[in-house]
Chain A
């Protein structure tokens, strides 16, 4: 263990952002599952008619931005609706990651499965192994896990059938312990989908950094899946399971739970673990959320638009000691929403924006970019959920006006100068600020961005344990 005695803040060495386009799994999102259960048989064909093919998902401008083929701000210039203006010549790979097809994802599910739960037809597995091999991320031994026979056979009892987007059968996933309501087939599918996509993000990150998996010492999971059994629902630690799948044999890990706020909590904790010298290389990883596929489907169906929530999204971030790039995670500028903070928008934004900036003697407009909840508005607006980042930027600008740091007439322009359009799939914790970190990092390194504040909020009240929300923020900047 090496302790950094220089006092320098830790840095973010790299960020990966990956998507798995899973239209066949969309029916197992929470909302589609509930709607299909009470439907008379007409909904499933309607859903299928509104699914996108892989090429359309790849060409979708926000997805291109997510994997780094273009800046978020480039979306200001894309005519709406974005789904009608797919980028011609788009590729499934970008500087931050890649988009994998559902055919490839079946193999990742198999690779993630240590208990013979996932049964997939051999022809799909062969196709999957070939696709995964072409990514260059997986070793032969790892790819062998895709096609080798399962150690146990997926039990037919209480199994869930898996289908391709066109409705053709692909395989099935078994339940865990009999009579265990925490290990029904649908819950295990959610958890394996999270594990598989999270491990993919870690693999992608290591590949981008040219770093050995064995150099990772700790993995902090920040997803929202409840991994456990009947006696410890949500016991965790999916992070260590992802570390194993990604080959990080020297790592252990644990999960940080704070709803959509967890990623920024995890980033700060990772920074603290590195700063303390306990670990050198800590990965923060958020796997994809199967439950949120098709979440806003009714809004999309009513507008006769494609079901845009057809991708699992995952992000992995490497936090390490200062590396000479000057990019630093300012652990002295962490904003936190405390129990006493209060629930009004004013209280939340003072805690997350003005309080940490004041500690550094900064005003609100001194921050070049604010990364907020970056939900893609094209997904949320048709469902009546509003433009989430737009509202967040109005609130930050409003706070600046109330503090005498911005003129009221400049509120409208604030979003364009200090913000960005939302570009992230509505995958809960994934839109929580951190995908912008991938975009910010090269700009912080080349000096075109001085600093950026990453803000996440979490709806703790949804869990019925408290009426509170939560919030966390942290500044990244470049040392002078």
Chain B
């Protein structure tokens, strides 16, 4: 699962939703633990396997506007919890 949202809190919520289950208990994934591997599109793991010109055209500018440090920290924390569970 690859996420593209710009808001760290939102990224964390979406990542949580597709791993442990919907933390807000409002959607169909409430209590459903899918345990999917989840990454943000700006993370090095994704960037390494993306065509550089496509990344430049489609993602580069958005990445500049994002607080990638916080986004990566959030999503890595979710992955850490998910792999440890």
Q: How far is the CA of A344 from the CA of B62 in the complex (A)?
A: 8
Chain A residue numbers with a CB within 8 Å of B6 are 386, 391
In order of increasing CB-CB distance, the 7 nearest A-B pairs are: A398-B64, A394-B65, A386-B7, A346-B61, A345-B62, A344-B58, A395-B65
Across the two chains, which residue of chain A brings its CB closest to B56?
A346
- Are A395 and B61 in contact, with the CB atoms below 8 A? yes
Q: Which chain A positions have C-beta within 8 A of B13?
A: 384
Cα of A394 to Cα of B60 in the assembled complex, Å? 12
Contacts A384-B7, A384-B13 hold; do A344 and B64 have CB atoms under 8 A apart? no
Q: Does A75 contact B (CB under 8 A)?
A: no
List residues 1-41 of chain B with CB under 8 A from any CB of chain A: 6-7, 9-10, 13
Tell me how far the C-beta of A119 lies from the nearest C-beta in chain B, rounded to whole angstroms: 36
A365 CB-CB contact with B under 8 Å: no
18 extra interface residue pairs, beta carbon distance < 8 Å, beyond A344-B62, A385-B7: A344-B57, A344-B58, A344-B61, A346-B62, A347-B57, A349-B61, A384-B9, A384-B10, A384-B13, A386-B7, A386-B10, A391-B6, A395-B64, A397-B65, A398-B65, A401-B64, A402-B61, A411-B64
Most interface-central of B60, B61, B62 (chain A CB within 10 A): B61
Interface size on B, residues (CB 8 A): 14
Which of B9, B57, B58, B61 has a CB less than 8 Å from the CB of A398? Answer: B61
User: What 0/1 pattern do residues 390 to 418 of A give for CB contact below 8 A with B?
Assistant: 01001101110110000000010000000
Give Cα A391 to B62, complex, Å: 9
Residue of B nearest to A396 (CB): B65
Q: B residues near A, CB below 8 A? A: 6-7, 9-10, 13, 57-62, 64-66
A342-360: which residues lie under 8 A (CB-CB) from chain B?
A: 344-347, 349
Please state if B62 and A395 are interface contacts (CB–CB under 8 Å).
Answer: yes
The interface residues of chain A lying within 8 Å CB-to-CB of B66 are: 394
Inter-chain CA distance A85–B40, complex, in Å, is: 37
Which residues of B have CB within 8 Å of A397? 64-65
Residues of A within 8 A of B7 (CB): 384-386
B57 and A346 within 8 A (CB): yes
**Is B58 touching A346 in the complex (CB atoms < 8 A)?**
yes
Nearest B-chain residue to A382, judged by Cβ: B9
A→B interface (CB under 8 Å): 344-347, 349, 384-386, 391, 394-395, 397-399, 401-402, 411
Chain B: CB-nearest residue to A393: B65
A39 CB to nearest chain B CB (Å): 13
> From residue A454, how far is it (CB to closest CB) to chain B in Å?
20
Expressed in whole angstroms, the Cα–Cα distance for A398 and B6 within the complex equals 14
User: When chains A and B are docked, how far (Å) is the Cα of A349 from the Cα of B60?
Assistant: 12
Given A345, A384, A385, which contacts B61 in the complex, CB threshold below 8 Å? A345
In the complex the two chains form, what is the Cα distance from A411 to B63 in whole Å? 13
Which residues of chain A are near B64, meaning CB under 8 Å? Answer: 394-395, 397-398, 401-402, 411
| Least CB distance, B40 to chain A, in whole angstroms | 15
> What distance in Å separates the Cβ of A76 from its nearest Cβ neighbour in chain B?
19
Cα–Cα distance between A251 and B65 once the two chains are bound (Å):
44
Residue of A nearest to B5 (CB): A386
> Which residues of chain B come closer than 8 Å to A394, judged between CB atoms?
64-66
Query: What residues of chain B lie closer than 8 Å to A386, measured between beta carbons?
Result: 6-7, 10
Query: In whole angstroms, what is the CA distance A395 to B60 when docked?
Result: 10
In the bound complex, how far is the Cα of B7 from the Cα of A399, in angstroms? 20
Q: Would you give 24 A-B contacts (Cβ < 8 Å), ordered by A?
A: A344-B62, A345-B61, A345-B65, A346-B57, A346-B62, A347-B57, A349-B61, A384-B7, A384-B10, A385-B7, A385-B10, A386-B6, A391-B6, A394-B65, A394-B66, A395-B62, A395-B64, A395-B65, A398-B61, A398-B64, A399-B61, A402-B60, A402-B61, A411-B64
Question: In the complex, A345→B66 CA distance in Å?
Answer: 12
